[in-house]
Each structure stands twice: as structure tokens, then as C-alpha cells.
Amino acid sequence: MAETLPAPEDVPHAETMPLLGLGTWENTDPEQCAASVRTALETGYRHVDTARVYGNEAAVGEGIAAADVDREEVFLATKVWIDNLAYEDVIRTTEASLDRLGVDAVELLYVHWPAREYDSRETLAAFDELVDRGLVERVGVSNFEPAQLEQAVDLLDTPAFANQVECHPLLPQRDLREVCAAHDVEVVAYSPLARGAVLDDPVLTDVAETHGVSAAQVSLAWLREKGVTAIPKATGRAHIADNWRSLDLELDAEEVERIDAIDRRDRRVDPGFAPWN
């Protein structure tokens, strides 16, 4: 008998954003990317994350269009790259992203990094303009440190909806999560499996063995316990389904405390232009 997977309606939400989504960073083969998006949506995912710089927006759009899921059910997010953050560039490149994705609007648009062409007033004013024009429903920031996040919250006319950062049990981002919570900003975790490092952590593997699940599922369940939306990248059907099954995993308080106490910090995404450098 086929295994029953969690249903889309079983996914917890942060407001209207499903707390588990599909990440597409480095999913650059067009056929594979489109297939993985379609597979994820037909598995039950309703949140897909991409970015202009990933070079796969067209393939993501093809996957969404091919899936037996209405577009209205999909929470779609993309991002504006650091070379395109001047006012007119934000407008122009976002319109181009919508064309590649084959959609009239996206549910969430992020400032990908506060770097290079980022000017808080000019860039964020363009994001507000996109909301006013109906091309973007929500504004997000990505890789923002607390001071930058607070500045963005103050400058935006549209409420800042989310801050997408690297977050997982080996980089829990406690202080940043507290600042986000204080401003009603959701936290979205990219690289929620620490680019594979969680699979070898002894605490996570021990908890996984107790439940008969993967360490990946434990990491994703731990993030959900913290109210963090995870967007793990997966391309194959098996990994897409394994991550989805994390929705069935409930960690008890002792297990969460053990994971909280992991004495290891492992940042996997650390470019020279990052604001913490």
C-alpha cells in the first residue's frame, strides 16, 4: 500500500505563508528544476522560493504551470539581486522576473542582500511602489542583520513581512529571531539542513534514530517548533517526500532542549559582501 503523506491543508502557516517550502538555489538544470517544482507541488508543497540570480525563474514557472495545482494555491517568492537595487532597476528587473515566472504577481519579493547597490531609502521605496502597482503582495528582506532590519521596518510603508537568513540547529540565529519577533517579521530559513551538515550531527542523528526518521526531518521539525519557515532545496522525488514527512514529526520538549544545546556554530553561506563581515 502506498505511504500516506501529509496533506497541504496540514501545513502550519505563518499568516498566509506555509511553514515548509521548496528552495531552488543551485537547481540550475531547467528540466530538473521544472520537474522538482512540479513534484513538490503535487506532493503537497504550496510554497516555492527562487531568485533572479539563481537563473531558474523560467523553469520554476514552468513547474508551477505544469503541476496539477491552481496558481492561487501557491505562495511564490523571488528576490532582487545586489546589482539591481537602484530604484528603476528594482522595478525593471522585477517586471522581468514576473515575465520569466509567467505570473502577474508574486506573493513575496525580497531584497536578496543589503549589499552593493542597496540604498535603504531608494531600494525600499521601489519595493513599496511594486506593492502599490499590485505586482508584489508582500515585501521581504534577506540576510539582514538586526540594525538593518529595524531600519527597513521604519522606512517601508508596506509592513516588512519576512527576513530570509541561513538558519538551522548549527546556526540558530537566536538574537536575530528575537528581533524579528519584536517587529512581527517572519523568519524564513535557507540552507535549513546546513548544506548537509545536520545529517552527521550526533544529537540530530540520535533524535532521528529514536523516531525512525532522517536527521533532515529532525532539523526541519526543530525549525517548525521555533516558528521558522524552512525552504530546503531538494530535486529528487525521495528527498522532496522525506522533507515533507517532517510535518508528521513532533519533537518533545526534552528533544528540543537537546538540539538547542548543540555547542557548534557552522555558517555555510558567507560571501565577502555579507553584512556580518
pLDDT of residue 3: 62
- Summarize the confidence of residues 102-114 as an average pLDDT: 98
State the pLDDT confidence band at 10, using cuts at 50, 70 and 90.
low
Res 115 pLDDT > 90? yes
pLDDT at 65 over 80: yes
pLDDT band at 4 (very low <50, low <70, confident <90, very high): confident
pLDDT of residue 15: 66
* Catalytic positions: 54
DSSP string, the chain: -PPPPPPGGGS-EETTEESB-EE-TT---HHHHHHHHHHHHHHT--EEE--GGGT-HHHHHHHHHHSSS-GGG-EEEEEE-GGG-SHHHHHHHHHHHHHHHT-S-BSEEEE--S-TT--HHHHHHHHHHHHHTTSBS-EEEES--HHHHHHHHHH-SSPEEEEEEE-BTTB--HHHHHHHHHTT-EEEEESTTGGGGGGG-HHHHHHHHHHTS-HHHHHHHHHHHTT-EE--B--SHHHHHHHHGGGG----HHHHHHHHT----------TT-TT-
213-253 confidence digits (pLDDT tens): 999 999 999 999 999 999 999 999 999 999 999 999 999 99
* 6-20, 134-148, 214-228: least confident range: 6-20
Residue 18 has pLDDT above 70, yes or no: yes
Per-domain residue ranges of the chain: 15-194+230-235
CATH number at 15-194+230-235: 3.20.20.100
The confidence score (pLDDT) of residue 14 equals: 62
**For 178-198, what is each residue's pLDDT tens digit?**
999 999 999 999 999 999 999
